[in-house]
Copies of this chain bind each other. A is one copy, B any other.
């Protein structure tokens, strides 16, 4: 049987920023944890997949193309719908829970210095 996981205990062990870690699978989606600190995530979209962000700790500036940007704080959730150009940045460490389709590339079709393969996202 799989075990229960405490998300904050796992976060304590994550040292890399911009590097999502897969912590579980629910049908066709991955559950991931990530820490964001800075502005290294490029503008990107996921052509065919929605993506959920839930803020576990901290604040994240959410930018959506042609929309007002907005700040997400602890307890906030936002779902980026497929095809929508977006970017997230933070000025201090922010911990997020992500729900992404297993096929989703975390920086979309954009390759950047922070882009990780699914294999690199395994805990």
Which residues of A does B touch, CB under 8 Å? 1-9, 23-29, 31, 49-52, 54, 62, 64, 67, 70, 72-73, 75-79, 81, 84, 97, 99-101
A55 to chain B, nearest CB (A): 9
- When distances are taken between beta carbons in the complex, the residues of chain B under 8 Å from A64 are 1
Q: A interface, by DSSP: helix, strand, loop or mixed?
A: strand
Q: Give 20 A-B pairs besides A25-B79, A27-B28, A28-B28 with Cβ atoms closer than 8 angstroms.
A: A1-B64, A1-B84, A2-B81, A3-B78, A4-B77, A5-B77, A5-B78, A6-B73, A6-B75, A6-B76, A7-B75, A9-B75, A26-B52, A26-B79, A26-B100, A26-B101, A27-B49, A29-B99, A31-B79, A99-B99
A28 to B102, CA, bound (A): 12
Residue from the list B4, B29, B99 in contact with A72, Cβ < 8 A: B4
A57 to chain B, nearest CB (A): 10
